[in-house]
Structure 1
Amino acid sequence: METPRDKETTKRSLEESRIETPLSVVKKRTCLAQTPREYQRFNMAFCGYKVSLCGLVLSAWGLIQLFFMAIFFYLKSPAFIEDLGLEGPFANNDQLITAVNRGFQQNAFNCLIAACLYIITLAVSGWQFYLNQKTTYQV
């Protein structure tokens, strides 16, 4: 006859030897992910609150600066004539004017490309700031 102690031992060994199927693991993970402690484990934040805030500020500043620089290059502002990178002597004024116009156009295009990259940086920093702000207030 089986004693209560043997039944308990048998029950424990059956529970320990049970193999988890992938479906049961998924069910456990989804149940665990709803608790605040497990939520932090699945968080996609790869930088902290201060770094993401710094990235937001620098990205916004860089975006505004490069956008205005692109406008001024497009309008051929004489303040940016030194940034054109003109090389060599020119045979006549037409070649100089063509090189200056091409330089202004190329620099305006480069500033717009850099501004677009800052938009991506701003989006990633904003996303990280949102994730860090969301997890900061959890108790």
Structure 2
Amino acid sequence: MRGLICGPKLAACGIVLSVWGVIMLAMLGIFFTVHSAGLIEDVPLTENDFDPNTNSIQKIYELYNKVGYNCFIAAAVYVFVGGFSCCQMKLNKKKEYLVQ
């Protein structure tokens, strides 16, 4: 069968992992975008970001938003992987139907 790359078990695993990845990364993106204080350890801060002479809060918020956007991009990648896995699942079912 043309276009068949992985088997049914691997395709099902890809679907499950994609659903979980989209949910988790979308929630993380939302929490980073609203500047959740619990995620401050995951923001790539440097000592220069805490300079009292500059607007350090604005820099920290920009870093939060940057990490949030990265989470949304990773969630979009998981959507594409899930779509690919669904296509593989359909091709496997079609192959199984044609064999019988």
- What is the TM-score normalised by the length of structure 2? 0.89
Superposed, 1:73-112 pairs within 5 Å as 73-89=32-48, 90-92=50-52, 95-112=55-72
Aligned structure 1 segments of 4 or more residues deviating by more than 3 angstroms: none
Q: Contact (CA 8 Å) 1:69, 1:108: kept in 2 or not?
A: yes
Q: Unpaired segments of 5 or more residues in structure 1?
A: 1-41
1:31-62 alpha-carbon deviations (Å, 9 max, x no partner): xxxxxxxxxxx432110000000000001100
Identity %: 36
Q: Unpaired segments of 5 or more residues in structure 2?
A: none
Distance 1:129 1:93 in 2: 57
Corresponding residue pairs, total: 98
Q: State the Cα distance separating 1:135 from its structure 2 match.
A: 1.7
Superposed, 1:61-80 pairs within 5 Å as 61-80=20-39
RMSD: 1.5
Distance 1:43 1:114, change over 3 A: same
1:89-133 alpha-carbon deviations (Å, 9 max, x no partner): 532175331221011110111011111111110110000011112
Partner of 1:45: 4
The structure showing larger relative contact order (alpha-carbon pairs under 8 Å, at least 6 residues apart) is 2
- What is the TM-score normalised by the length of structure 1? 0.65
